[in-house]
């Protein structure tokens, strides 16, 4: 029905990660095609790189962290989320099994070596936030970038780090190896509420304001597709999900994958909206960990554009 730009390029981090599951599903279930969209997904080394690609103009839309929209506002870039995909960060803070006795809560992390995916990333920020909340100076622990995938597992197995702040599937893998004890789990509603007192949007679909203004129909089609995916996800069983994604995503072990799916089930947003409380909780998180960010200058209303979601064909 006359899309301005029927074929678009969409950036993502590492697609096989559960964080990006809605994207994979939307693609695999044909929801984009239904909307008359041809979507080419570009895989970048990390969320930051996809954002850079968006700003640079090489991709049209990104599935990435909601916090990016806030940071970009501070940098004078108008980037807006149009639909929420993951309402909880999905980050887990855990300690090594043999340290579990010494480190019982976040407050004991003083002097610990904490593995994060990368310095500056969401896992890094969350760990710092938790420490600040517990009354610790984040500088009192050392943060080590351990990367994603196998190197993170290796770092924990080799005892190079005492604690880890990481995402799926590393956490499930480590749990299945019985290597860690979870302290804070933001994959679940309870964990997130305990931590932030509200939900804390993670993965969203965001685009440049100019693009939204110039291509409203295209954006609407995108939102429609994702909204349908979210709805499907609410009712699908883990088996159905597993069958819908490409086999290589199964971590070489379907049981492990199902376990990880089940654990992250709650993180996927049921409706795609972001309420002001969640926005605030994200801003708090950022200002708590990045003193350079000036909370006063941020207009949270400009980070999320819910109008497309309201018009979405699927509710």
Partner 1 sequence: MRAASLKLLALQVLVAVVAIGIWHVGSSVPIAGKYFLPEFFFSTPLDVFQRVVKLFVSGEIWRHLWITLTETLLAFVIGSAGGVAIGFWFARQPLIAAVFDPYVKMVNALPRVVLAPIFMLWLGLGIWSKVALGVTLVFFVVFFNVYQGVKEVSPVVLSNARMMGMTERQLFRHVYWPSALSWMFSSLHTSVGFALVGAVVGEYLGSAAGLGYLIHEAEGVFDVTGVFAGMFILSAFVLVIDWLVTLVERRLLVWRPQAAVGQT
* Cα distances (Å, whole numbers) of residue 175 to 95, 97, 169, 191: 11, 10, 10, 17
Query: 205 Cβ partners below 8 Å, 6+ apart?
Result: 61, 62, 63, 81, 82, 83, 85, 222, 223, 226
CB 39 within 8 Å of CB 251:
no
Q: Which is nearer to partner 1, 52 or 307 (CB)?
A: 52
CA–CA gap between residue 291 and residue 161 (Å, rounded): 27
* Residue 255 in the binding site for partner 1 (CB under 8 A): no
CB of 275 to partner 1, least distance (A): 25
Among 121, 195, 229, 278, binds partner 1 (CB under 8 A): 121
Q: How far is the CB of 257 from partner 1 (least distance, A)?
A: 9
Is residue 182 a contact point for partner 1 (CB under 8 A)?
A: no
What is the footprint of partner 1 within residues 53-112 (CB under 8 A)?
A: 53, 55-59, 71-72, 75, 77
Minimum distance between the CB of residue 51 and partner 1, rounded to whole angstroms?
A: 7
* CB atoms near residue 246 (< 10 Å): 11
Contacts with 126 (C-beta within 8 Å, 6 or more apart), sequence order:
89, 91, 93, 165, 186, 285
Question: What CA–CA distance (Å, rounded) separates 20 from 28?
Answer: 13
Whether 119 and 146 have beta carbons less than 8 Å apart is answered as: no
User: Using CA atoms, how far apart are residues 27 and 226, in angstroms rounded to an integer?
Assistant: 9
CB nearer to partner 1: pick between 71 and 187: 71
Residue 14 found at the interface with partner 1 (CB under 8 A): yes
Q: How many residues does the chain have?
A: 315
Number of residues that bind partner 1 (CB under 8 A): 57
Q: How far is the CB of 190 from partner 1 (least distance, A)?
A: 28
Q: Quick check: 284 binds partner 1 (CB under 8 A)?
A: no
Instruction: Write down the least CB distance from residue 289 to partner 1, Å.
Output: 9
Residue nearer to partner 1 on the CB measure, 147 or 216: 147
Which of 8, 23, 83, 155 contacts partner 1 by CB under 8 A? Answer: 155
The residues of the shown chain that bind partner 1, judged by CB under 8 A, are: 9, 11, 14-17, 40-45, 48-53, 55-59, 71-72, 75, 77, 113, 118-121, 124, 142-151, 153-155, 158, 160-161, 169, 173, 248-252, 290
């Amino acid at each position: 029905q006359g899309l301005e730009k029927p074929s678009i390029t969409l950036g993502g981090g590492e697609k096989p990660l559960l964080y990006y599951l809605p994207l994979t599903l939307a693609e695999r279930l044909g929801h984009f095609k239904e909307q008359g969209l041809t979507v080419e997904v570009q895989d970048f080394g990390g969320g930051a790189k996809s954002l850079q690609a968006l700003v640079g103009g090489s991709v049209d839309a990104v599935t990435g962290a909601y916090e990016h929209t806030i940071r970009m506002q501070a940098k004078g870039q108008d980037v807006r989320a149009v639909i929420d995909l993951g309402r909880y960060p999905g980050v887990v803070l855990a300690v090594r099994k043999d340290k579990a006795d010494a480190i019982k809560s976040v407050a004991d992390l003083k002097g610990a070596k904490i593995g994060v995916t990368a310095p500056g990333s969401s896992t890094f920020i969350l760990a710092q936030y938790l420490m600040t909340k517990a009354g610790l100076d984040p500088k009192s622990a050392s943060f080590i970038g351990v990367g994603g995938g196998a190197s993170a597992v290796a770092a924990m197995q080799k005892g190079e780090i005492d604690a880890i702040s990481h995402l799926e599937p590393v956490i499930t893998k480590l749990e299945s190896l019985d290597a860690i004890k979870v302290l804070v789990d933001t994959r679940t509603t309870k964990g997130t509420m305990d931590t932030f007192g509200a939900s804390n949007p993670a993965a969203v679909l965001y685009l440049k304001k100019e693009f939204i203004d110039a291509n409203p129909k295209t954006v609407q089609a995108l939102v429609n597709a994702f909204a349908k995916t979210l709805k499907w996800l609410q009712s699908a069983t883990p088996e159905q999900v597993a069958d819908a994604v490409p086999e290589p995503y199964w971590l070489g072990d379907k049981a492990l994958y199902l376990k990880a799916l089940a654990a992250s089930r709650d993180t996927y947003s049921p409706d795609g909206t972001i309420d002001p409380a969640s926005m605030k909780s994200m801003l708090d998180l950022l200002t708590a960990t990045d003193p350079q960010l000036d909370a006063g200058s941020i207009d949270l209303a400009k980070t999320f554009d819910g109008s497309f979601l309201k018009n979405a064909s699927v509710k």
